[in-house]
Amino acid sequence: MATIKVHQGDITTQPVDAIVNAANQRLLGGAGVDGAIHRAGGPAIMAECDRIRDQQGGCPTGQAVITTAGELAAKHVIHTVGPIWNGGSNNETELLKNCYQNSLKLADQHGLNSIAFPNISTGVYGFPKQQAAEIAVATVNHYFDVQSTTLEKLTFVCFDDENYSIYKGLI
C-alpha cells in the first residue's frame, strides 16, 4: 500500500513522478492550479495538450490524460477535469471519484511510483471543500485496497490553510 501524506504548498515544486492538474476540458490552461502548472512547466506541456486536443478533442469531465512536465520538478503531468459544482444533483460526486481513479490508473499504466494531487474542483469549480476531500481520500484508499499498483507515495498538496486543515483531519 502506498504511503499517503498531506503537504501544504505549491504543487508545481513537487519532485514526484507525476503531479495532477485540475484542468479544463479543452486542456487550454487557465486559472488556479491549471494556470500555475502551465506557467511553471513552460510551453512543452501546452504543445502536448495541443496534440491531445487534435487527436481526441480534449478531455471529458472525470477522465485523465498524461503529458510531459516540461520544466517542472515532476516527470509528468496528469491532467484531469473535475466537475463544476451544481448543488450535487448532476453526478458531481461520481465524476470527482472518476478524476482520482482515472489519474491513478494512468499513473499505474506508466509505471509511476509517486503522485501529487491538488484539491480538484474546490476552486473556481465550487465543489464544497470538506465533501471533495472526503471523496478524494475515500477514493484513493479504496483504489489502494483493491488494485495492484506501482505507486508507493501519494501526496495531497493543499495550497490554502482550509484545505490543508481538512485533509490533515482525514489522513
**Catalytically active residues, by annotation:** 34
- Please report, to the nearest 10 degrees, the dihedral formed by the alpha carbons of residues 135, 140, 145, 151 taken in order: 180
Q: What single-letter amino acid sits at 156?
A: F
Report the C-alpha gap between 115 and 63 in whole angstroms.
17
CB 103 within 8 A of CB 64: yes
HSE value, Cβ hemisphere, 13 Å, CA-based, for 19? 29
Q: Please name which of 11, 12, 45, 18 lies closest in space to residue 110, comparing C-alpha atoms.
A: 18
